[in-house]
Amino acid sequence: MPSSVLKRRVSRLPDQVRLAGRVLYLTEDPELLERQLRGEELAWDPAMRLRDNISTDEITPAYICYYFDETLGEFPYLGLKAGDRFPVARGSVKAGGFVASVAGKRRGKGSSREQSPYAEMQAGIRLVVGESIERIYRENCQNLGLLTTTDFSVLARVKRGEPIPLAVFMEGEGQITRDIISFGGLFNYNVARLQGAVRVPVVTTPPRPMTIAEKIFARHWVTDASTGRRGVPTVAPGDEGFIATDIRFSHEYVTPMSAIFFEQYLGRDEPLNDPGSIFFFRDHLTFLRDAMTPERIKEGLLDVANQLEVKQREFAAAKGVKLYGELGLGRLGSEAICHSKILEAHALPGQVIIGSDSHTPHAGAVGAVAFGVGTTAIFNSWLTRDVRVRVPPTFRVVVRGRRPRHVTAKDIMLQLLRHPYVRNGDAIGQVVEYCGEVVESLGVDERATMTNMAAEVGAFTGIIAPDARTVDFLVEQRGLPREAAVRWCEGLASDRDAEYVKEIVIDADTLRPMVALPGDPGNGMEVAELGARVKIDTAYAGSCTAGKREDMDMYASVFREAARDGRRVAPGVRCYIQCGSQDVFRYCQAQGYDRLFAEVGATFIEPSCGACINAGPGVSRTSGEVTISAINRNFPGRSGPGQLYLASPYTVAASALAGYITAWEPESVAASTP
């Protein structure tokens, strides 16, 4: 244990807090929001129409996250859309004297960026209220010391300026979370834990059937933080504790802020705990200089963003951490998107993996428990090598029947995302376990699309039990001996009588190619139901979700038919194909896909998150542009100001050729799975 931790003094907060200041209601009505920012006081009225589904992309748009210090306090809600306007200006929240911020359902959905609650906190917000609050965002708030609640009766107390018992913000929480709130944040709590000054609850759950995720939690359960001893026989939903991690990773949006926290709290010379199991990635902003507008470059934002790369690179070198960096030598792009590389080269069945991105569940495709965490959790894991959890309940998605050939994992997910259980936020913070004969028929790449998009479900993570296809993947793509691959998969299946809070059955026979309308991945409908043709300006095929080998095979299937018939990308349409890693890039070259893409007029570009984070080729430039994209989410402003539709790789490629959104109709649409 670092000596700086042993010497540090920490204490609990007072039993009551007084929140003196104004309340900001994030309403659907832009005029009502603007009036508050101009100084008008509103009283809480249940009839008030609050904004639902406020994503972290709206709280702090991607370009705001170039900052990683108190400057973020100038920017909360800059991307918030109310009606057809963006009413919040730079500095207006901070200048308004607001102490509390109120929203509707699924507050803080989307990206795990801790810049969002940190920006709110630096603007003076001390309390965030929502009808429901997404897991990662809520934990980020708690880790920073920002209070959260779904109890709207608190607002009257804030309005009167009266003391509020701290226990109000602990209702429904486990002992560890209550202690984190009591100590004012995760770091102070961890110091107390490592000093033995706080008691971690002991798991005493009696034997019971367990799901695959619960079995992995039990194997990794930390029973003694000082010795690293781990493992308990059984866990159940609600059990709270710490689990040891096998892999921790972060990218350039998060590593610098985590590094600053680490240096401030522990000192510049303190080593990281087991740096060999930590990975850094420069994957989000490697095309930024070509995507940033001249106005933002003039504001100096490119220089600000470049400091993220510098800080991460220097910290990696100082701490001995493997950095998957940018290409350099005049080439834009990166070695790999973090999720792609973790699955390609590192993740193993039964592991616990945490990453600084909501799409960390990508690695659940091989039966790992992989989940996103925020900046503070990453920084703390460098000290403790563990992460706090409260075992989530699990719901099961069973995909049965025979899947038509042109229906993909992306179509299955767009169907699931419009299910009422997901749309209403009932799945928030749960594990989604995918199974059924259709899931079993999918390769690991397609399975990764499903686990990756557990983030859009609002789930804690997504997971698929490893099987023979997993073994083949580990042998053929990872080079493991077959006997070793089989051993990694042993014992990783849910018990027959395991408990699920919900089962959703999807009949693959009835599935057709899907598209999500702009604004939210849950706005799904069949492509055939669109009615009038939706003309497109851009087709973007890539990202971690859709930049894998099997995705490239899909793009190639569509474009191969087009090339044979002498067809090309439609006039006026920009089509980009972007891999998730250099491994996939080399695979495309070996298959001749790079030449095929060029033949039909598509631009093949080096790996990077790029357009998915509004930082690369494929982003829209005006609100009138229309993009069809294979990425995972289409929240307002996610990939530029235009209208962003989500679809499968097949649909994106077919639409690029047609010039409007359309599904691919292969020569045979016969069912392709049992």
On the question of pLDDT at 502 being above 90, the answer is yes
On the question of pLDDT at 287 being above 90, the answer is no
Contact indicator for 155, 129 with CB cutoff of 8 Å: yes
pLDDT in tens, 300-318: 888 888 899 999 999 999 9
Q: Hunting for tokens 């490239």 — which residue is that?
A: 552
Query: Which secondary-structure segment (H or E) carries 474?
Result: helix 468-476
Length of the chain: 674
Q: How many whole angstroms separate alpha carbon 375 and alpha carbon 354? A: 11
**Would you kindly state where each structural domain of the chain is located, as residue ranges?**
19-162, 515-674
Q: First CA to last CA across the chain, in angstroms?
A: 54
Q: How many whole angstroms separate alpha carbon 596 and alpha carbon 602? A: 9
Backbone dihedral angles phi then psi of residue 410, each to the nearest 5 degrees: -65, -40
Strands (E) located in 234-307:
240-244, 247-251, 278-281
Contact indicator for 54, 103 with CB cutoff of 8 Å: yes
Contact indicator for 637, 619 with CB cutoff of 8 Å: no
Q: How many whole angstroms separate alpha carbon 654 and alpha carbon 554? A: 10
Confidence tier at 355 by pLDDT (50, 70, 90): very high
pLDDT at 305: 87
Segments in 113-182 forming alpha helices (H): 115-122, 135-144, 154-160, 175-182
The pLDDT of 103-128, averaged and rounded, is: 92
pLDDT at 195: 87
Residue 357 per-residue DSSP state: S
Q: How many whole angstroms separate alpha carbon 129 and alpha carbon 333? A: 39
Contact indicator for 613, 115 with CB cutoff of 8 Å: no
On the question of pLDDT at 670 being above 50, the answer is no
Contact indicator for 404, 429 with CB cutoff of 8 Å: no
Query: How confident is the prediction for the chain on average, in pLDDT?
Result: 93
Q: Hunting for tokens 């367990």 — which residue is that?
A: 210
Contact indicator for 540, 628 with CB cutoff of 8 Å: yes
On the question of pLDDT at 672 being above 70, the answer is no
Contact indicator for 471, 500 with CB cutoff of 8 Å: no
pLDDT in tens, 6-16: 678 889 999 99
* Same fold yes or no, 19-162 and 515-674: no
Backbone dihedral angles phi then psi of residue 489, each to the nearest 5 degrees: -90, -10
On the question of pLDDT at 105 being above 50, the answer is yes
Q: How far is C-alpha 548 from the geometric centre of its chain's CA atoms?
A: 18
Tokens matching residue 100:
């509390």
Q: How many whole angstroms separate alpha carbon 658 and alpha carbon 664? A: 10
The CATH number assigned to the domain with range 515-674 reads 3.30.499.10
Q: How many whole angstroms separate alpha carbon 77 and alpha carbon 655? A: 34
pLDDT in tens, 14-70: 999 999 899 999 999 999 999 999 999 998 888 889 999 999 989 998 888 888 888
pLDDT in tens, 330-351: 788 999 999 999 999 999 999 9
On the CB side of 462, how many CA atoms lie within 13 Å of its CA?
Answer: 27
pLDDT in tens, 518-548: 999 999 999 999 988 999 999 999 999 999 9
pLDDT at 224: 86
pLDDT in tens, 208-263: 999 999 999 999 999 987 777 899 999 999 999 999 999 999 999 899 989 998 99
Which residues are 390's β-sheet partners?
240
Confidence tier at 3 by pLDDT (50, 70, 90): low
- With CA atoms as reference, report the closest residue to 388 among 180, 647, 532, 205: 180
- Name the fold adopted by 19-162: Aconitase; domain 4 (3.20.19)
Q: How many whole angstroms separate alpha carbon 414 and alpha carbon 432? A: 15
- With CA atoms as reference, report the closest residue to 406 among 569, 602, 631, 648: 648
On the question of pLDDT at 671 being above 80, the answer is no
Give every CB contact of residue 627 below 8 A, 6+ residues apart in sequence. 536, 537, 538, 539, 540, 618, 620, 639, 640, 642, 643, 644, 645
Q: Hunting for tokens 């920002």 — which residue is that?
A: 146
